[in-house]
């Protein structure tokens, strides 16, 4: 009887302690510090793999020592960052400094979670317009990106030389070159046309260069760009699997010698360096008509400051973001991580110092932000784009009808 009672009491106690544990999270907020006694900042980013992880850590550490603080950094896988941010937002545990992929900045800023940086002594002077567009919302600056990237056309030097093909400058040359470079076991070109935002991103150089615009996806210019993708796949110059490939898959095909060219970004360079027998170079994305200028989408991540009740801490976080965006750190990160500085003044200097990044440096100057025109409505357009690509490449719709069909018309 007694033992039964004890057991019952234990069972009850367990329940109570379980409930206490469940409620315990709320007590996790660190006590507010006041004055300029800010000793440490918490940071969240998605550079969770080396070498990026440790290279970013270097920049963070040097800014921390300049400001005389310590940092507590947390890294999560890229595709879980937004979920993590939402979770932290609802439990009011957002970090002091938050990294966001640039197309997400406006969406998060629209929720009112971020502090405007203009009020804290930061500005976007000298930063390429595309990045300013991406990190501003309703006229205010919410983030600064030290480095950026974009996509261009990689080609295998040996394969082009062997086939007697020059790096293509126009779409016609691109199609002809891809066809000529295709032989059993090898495709002329690899790109990513999968049903994710990544597939839309890879399509943007063609769409924007041709004068297409996300505000009117049913325009003939956009259809013409889609026709380029369709032609490359239908002629057999690109694998039918492009509708499932990621950019990583495209790089694997290229590195394995199964594709002579690929549309990809400079973040693949460290991986390509592991296969030194593949000699490659990069050119800007080809043009449909010779009088066009290449317009590519801007990649890269911005550093933001979530709203904080503790003003001193918020200011310190803003100072930290400012430090990350110093010329010195921009160049250091750009060189070490195969990215590009975001200040126009630094781009030319950088391109001469790092010749392999020349084509990218050229494209970045004219590059546009995905959220530049539509702001936080961009994801809807991006979804229509990738669905239209899927419809056209699987033959369910012509390039002309695909966008109408994908947008539900």
Partner 1 sequence: MVTLTRTTVAGRAKSRGRRHRGETLTKILFVLPAVVAMVALFGYPVVKNLLMSLQDYGLKTFFTGVAPWVGLKNYSTVVTDKLFSDAMVNTALFTVGSIAFQFAIGLGLALFFHKKFPLSGLLRSLLLLPWLLPLIVSSATWRSILEQDSGILNRSLMGLHLINDPVPWLNSPSVALIAVIGVNIWIGIPFNVTLLYSGLAEIPDELYEAGQLDGATGWRSFWYITWPNLRAVASVLLMLGVVYTIKVLDIILGLTGGGPANATQTLATQSYEKSFVDFRFGQGAALSNILIAISFVFAIFYLRGTRRAVDE
Residues lying near partner 1 in the complex (CB under 8 A) are found at: 4-5, 7-9, 11-12, 14-15, 18-19, 22, 82-83, 86-87, 89-90, 107-108, 110-113, 194-196, 239-241, 243-244, 258, 379, 383, 387, 390-391, 393-394, 396, 408
Distance in angstroms (rounded) separating the CA atoms of residues 47 and 71: 16
Task: Considering the complex, state which of residue 123 and residue 196 has its C-beta at the smaller distance from partner 1.
Answer: 196
How distant, in Å, are the alpha carbons of 15, 26, 27, 224 from that of 22?
11, 9, 11, 56
Q: Which residue number, 226 or 282, has a Cβ lying nearer to partner 1? A: 226
- ∠ Cα 145 315 304 (to 5°): 25
Taking the complex as a whole, the smallest distance from the CB of residue 137 to partner 1 amounts, in Å, to 13
User: CB 409 → partner 1: shortest distance, Å?
Assistant: 10
- For residue 328, the tally of other CB atoms under 10 A from its CB is 11
Taking the complex as a whole, the smallest distance from the CB of residue 13 to partner 1 amounts, in Å, to: 9
Rounded to an integer, what distance in angstroms lies between the CA atom of residue 153 and that of residue 176? 15
Q: How far is the CB of 49 from partner 1 (least distance, A)?
A: 17
CA 343 – CA 350 distance, rounded (Å): 10
CA dist 107 and 255 (Å) reads: 36
Q: Which residue, 285 or 386, has its beta carbon nearer to partner 1?
A: 386
321 vs 393 by CB, closer to partner 1: 393
Measuring CA to CA, which residue among 251, 244, 212, 247 is closest to residue 228? 212
**Which tokens go with 280?**
């490659």
Closer to partner 1 by Cβ: residue 78 or 379: 379
**Closest CB to partner 1 among residues 290, 409:** 409
Which DSSP category does 306 fall into?
Answer: B
Compute the half-sphere exposure of residue 59: CA atoms within 13 Å on the CB side of its CA: 28
Q: How far is the CB of 11 from partner 1 (least distance, A)?
A: 5
Q: Which is nearer to partner 1, 49 or 293 (CB)?
A: 49
Q: In this structure, which long-range contacts are made by residues 250-254, counting pairs with CB atoms below 8 Å and at least 24 apart in sequence? A: 250/190, 250/191, 250/192, 253/187, 253/190, 254/154, 254/156, 254/190, 254/278, 254/280
Residue 361 · residue 172 · CB < 8 Å: no
Query: Which lies closer to partner 1 via its Cβ, residue 181 or residue 332?
Result: 181
Q: Strands, E, within 63-169: which ranges?
A: 70-75, 97-101, 136-137, 140-141, 143-144, 147-148, 152-156
At closest approach, how far in Å is the CB of 195 from partner 1? 4
Asked if 95 contacts 44 with a C-beta cutoff of 8 angstroms, the reply is: yes
Cβ-based neighbours of 270, under 8 Å, separated by 6 or more: 51, 338
User: In angstroms, how far is CA 25 from the centroid of its own chain?
Assistant: 32
Instruction: Kindly state the smallest distance separating residue 172's Cβ from partner 1, in Å.
Output: 26
Q: Which is nearer to partner 1, 7 or 161 (CB)?
A: 7
Least separation in angstroms between residue 231's CB and partner 1 is: 17
Strand pairing category for 259-264 and 187-190: parallel
* CA distances to 121, 199, 304, 390, 408 from 398, in Å: 52, 18, 42, 11, 15
Considering the complex, state which of residue 62 and residue 88 has its C-beta at the smaller distance from partner 1. Answer: 88
Residue 107 CB, nearest distance to partner 1 (Å)?
A: 6
Nearest distance, CB of residue 240 and partner 1, angstroms: 5
């Amino acid at each position: 009887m007694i033992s039964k009672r004890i057991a019952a009491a234990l069972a009850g106690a367990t329940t109570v302690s379980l409930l206490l544990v469940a409620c315990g999270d709320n007590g996790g907020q660190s006590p507010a510090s006041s004055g300029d006694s800010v000793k440490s900042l918490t940071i969240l980013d998605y550079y969770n793999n080396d070498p990026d992880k440790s290279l970013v850590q270097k920049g963070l550490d040097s800014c921390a020592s300049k400001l005389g603080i310590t940092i507590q950094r947390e890294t999560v896988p890229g595709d879980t960052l937004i979920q993590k941010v939402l979770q932290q937002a609802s439990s009011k545990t957002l970090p002091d400094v938050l990294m966001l992929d640039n197309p997400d900045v406006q969406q998060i800023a629209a929720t009112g979670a971020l502090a405007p940086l203009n009020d804290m002594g930061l500005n976007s002077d000298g930063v390429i317009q595309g990045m300013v567009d991406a990190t501003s919302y309703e006229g205010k600056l919410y983030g600064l990106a030290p480095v950026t990237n974009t996509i261009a056309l990689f080609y295998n030097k040996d394969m082009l030389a062997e086939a007697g093909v020059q790096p293509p400058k126009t779409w016609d040359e691109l199609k002809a070159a891809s066809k000529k470079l295709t032989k059993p076991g090898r495709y002329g070109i690899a790109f990513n046309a999968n049903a994710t935002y990544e597939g839309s991103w890879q399509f943007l150089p063609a769409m924007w260069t041709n004068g297409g615009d996300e505000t009117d996806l049913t325009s003939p210019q956009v259809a013409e760009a889609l026709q380029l993708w369709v032609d490359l796949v239908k002629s057999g110059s690109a694998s039918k699997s492009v509708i499932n490939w990621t950019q990583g898959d495209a790089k694997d095909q290229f590195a394995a010698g199964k594709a002579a060219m690929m549309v990809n970004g400079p973040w693949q360079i460290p991986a390509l360096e592991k296969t030194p027998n593949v000699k490659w170079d990069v050119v800007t994305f080809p043009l449909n008509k010779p009088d066009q200028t290449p317009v590519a989408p801007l990649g890269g991540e911005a550093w933001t400051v979530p709203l904080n009740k503790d003003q001193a801490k918020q200011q310190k976080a803003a100072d930290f973001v400012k430090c990350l965006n110093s010329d010195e750190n921009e160049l250091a990160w750009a060189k070490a991580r195969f990215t590009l500085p975001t200040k126009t003044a630094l781009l030319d200097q950088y391109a001469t110092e790092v010749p392999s990044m020349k084509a990218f440096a050229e494209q970045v100057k004219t590059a546009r932000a995905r959220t530049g025109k539509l702001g936080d409505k961009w994801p809807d357009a991006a979804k229509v784009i990738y669905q239209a690509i899927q419809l056209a490449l699987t033959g369910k719709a012509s390039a002309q009808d695909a966008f109408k069909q994908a947008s539900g018309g």
